[in-house]
Structure 1
Amino acid sequence: MRRCFLACLAFLLAANAWAADTLLVAAGAGYRRPVTQLLEEFTKTTGIRAEASFGNMKQVETQARQNPDIALMIGDRAFLEPMGLAERFQHLGTGKLVLVAARGQALGAIADLREPRFARIAMPDRAKAVYGNAAATCLERLGLAQPLAGRLLEVATVPQVGAYLATGEVDAGFVNRTEALALAGRAGDAIDAPKDCYDPIELSVGVLRGRADGAAGRAFLGYLASPAARKLLERHGM
């Protein structure tokens, strides 16, 4: 019994030490590629282990509330700030809404979506995802929300829209610039949405109250301000 107790105690101490040396981040799924690469490069540079969980912003909020080990959230500040979890924010870049057509579909303007050939148009969930909200706002401001209402397919995240575009399950879809770049060669034409058809998207890191005071959190925030991190984000369209 004593030997078992000591073994369990040793395991718990080791687990606590591992958790203390590991940075946990929750991020919007539309930023999976750049965030994953940022964490990988951060670990190579510092030796500090870093992991991330992804989802739409409602899922990110749930993860951050349920897991006290998550120190940082990454997403649109307009979504992060109302959560009331972050004590401060660090700017990362500007998000861009992009409309992508399926392979073989020509696309010159968002107004082209009125054409019958665009029978299924995907977008992230407008209530839970940054770019879903941006797409819904854009369609409303361009006078397309009502004409296209019966053709819109809302899914949970930006990557899901990308998957539907790549497999041809939809004729067009709204994604961010990061996903649009990743779809090159697997989908059709891509056009940037007019900047005035949706509210500015400020990609930010939310530092969770009382959770990012450790060396790992401080080191990652410092890394994000480095030229190397800036170049990586720029390669992903931010």
Structure 2
Amino acid sequence: MKINRIEGAPLSGISSMATRHVLAELVDDYERRWGQRVRIESVGGVDAARRVSEGEPFDIVVLAADAIDRLTTARRIDPTSRIDLARSGMAIAVARGAPHPGIGTQAAMRDTLLAARRIGYSTGPSGTHLLSLFERLGIAETMASRIVQVPPGVPVGSLLANGEVELGFQQLSELMHLRDIEVVGSLPPETQSFTVFRAAVCTVSTCKDAAKALLSFLASPSAAPAIRRHGMEPMT
């Protein structure tokens, strides 16, 4: 792979929290291999998209595919640089030591939802899917008073750890690294939703060739083992 390394300031990027751990590992690997410094800031996806939209000087951005597409429409990224990195499914977690409820089928999960007093969910794609799932299961009205949405960038697992909710729904990659909680499992197939995470070079970047080289590495087969280690599926 051809690397156009830049001297001085590192390449900069911003991402949602869902890809924070895998990007940290891959960036470390990239720096060791190629000597190119990279700094990625991970925040809530809503905030990341807003900051790119407002023209903050990032070289790359990694967000859910629909957010990247909106930034494309706003002309904040180079449309020819877009590349899919991974897809992530949703999972359910409980506080450490709590009983693991049944979630093996849609019917079992519906019963588990109806039995829960409080449920935590996010502002990201997983939260949007959960609300639509309530509608599909015919329990939206019942669940409306039991759900707690965390602010952007705050892990749902924090609500589980402090006892504020009994069940937490979020991307597996965001739940699996948190202490004081336990992942019960992924959503059953008939209720699962996968989010594709896409990367692109920002139009304000002054190091576009170096940024594209980084994205090529992040989407390469050599990145696949790290992507799997962090609860996602590689796209290559």
Of all paired residues, the percent bearing the same amino acid is 22
Residue in 2 that maps onto 1:120: 118
Deviation string for 1:58-115 (max 9, x for gaps)?
2011221344421211121022212323314211111101111223132112220211
How far off its partner does 1:34 sit? 1.1
Matched residue type, 2:172:
R
Deviation string for 1:149-175 (max 9, x for gaps)?
101000124652122223333211111
Matched residue type, 1:137:
S
Q: Name the count of aligned residue pairs.
A: 215
Residue in 2 that maps onto 1:143: 138
Residue in 2 that maps onto 1:18: 8
How do residues 158-169 of structure 1 correspond to structure 2 at under 5 angstroms?
159-169=154-164
Matched residue type, 2:118:
R
After superposition, the Cα gap between the structure-2 partners of 1:158 and 1:211, relative to the gap in structure 1 and judged at 3 Å, is closer
Looking at structure 2, the residues matched to 38 and 159 of structure 1 have their Cα atoms a distance apart, in angstroms, of 23
Tell me, what secondary structure is at the counterpart of 1:168?
coil
After superposition, the Cα gap between the structure-2 partners of 1:212 and 1:38, relative to the gap in structure 1 and judged at 3 Å, is farther
Tell me, what secondary structure is at the counterpart of 1:221?
helix
After superposition, the Cα gap between the structure-2 partners of 1:189 and 1:48, relative to the gap in structure 1 and judged at 3 Å, is closer
Residue in 2 that maps onto 1:8: none
| Residue 224 (structure 2) pairs with residue 234 (structure 1) | no
Structure 1 runs not aligned, ≥5 long: 1-15
Structure 1 length as normaliser, TM-score?
A: 0.80
| Residue 89 (structure 2) pairs with residue 96 (structure 1) | yes
Structure 2 runs not aligned, ≥5 long: 1-5, 104-108
| Residue 30 (structure 2) pairs with residue 42 (structure 1) | yes
Structure 2 length as normaliser, TM-score?
A: 0.80
Looking at structure 1, the residues matched to 51 and 206 of structure 2 have their Cα atoms a distance apart, in angstroms, of 16
Tell me, what secondary structure is at the counterpart of 2:156?
helix
Tell me, what secondary structure is at the counterpart of 1:146?
helix
Tell me, what secondary structure is at the counterpart of 1:147?
helix
Looking at structure 2, the residues matched to 80 and 195 of structure 1 have their Cα atoms a distance apart, in angstroms, of 26
Which is helix-richer, 1 or 2? 1
Residue in 1 that maps onto 2:169: 174
Looking at structure 1, the residues matched to 145 and 27 of structure 2 have their Cα atoms a distance apart, in angstroms, of 40
Matched residue type, 2:119:
I
How far off its partner does 1:143 sit? 2.4
Please say which of residues 158-167 and 83-92 is displaced more in the overlay: 158-167
Looking at structure 2, the residues matched to 191 and 106 of structure 1 have their Cα atoms a distance apart, in angstroms, of 9
Looking at structure 1, the residues matched to 64 and 39 of structure 2 have their Cα atoms a distance apart, in angstroms, of 20
Residue in 2 that maps onto 1:73: 61
CA RMSD of aligned residues (A): 2.4
After superposition, the Cα gap between the structure-2 partners of 1:230 and 1:81, relative to the gap in structure 1 and judged at 3 Å, is same
How far off its partner does 1:131 sit? 1.9
After superposition, the Cα gap between the structure-2 partners of 1:67 and 1:82, relative to the gap in structure 1 and judged at 3 Å, is closer
After superposition, the Cα gap between the structure-2 partners of 1:145 and 1:55, relative to the gap in structure 1 and judged at 3 Å, is farther
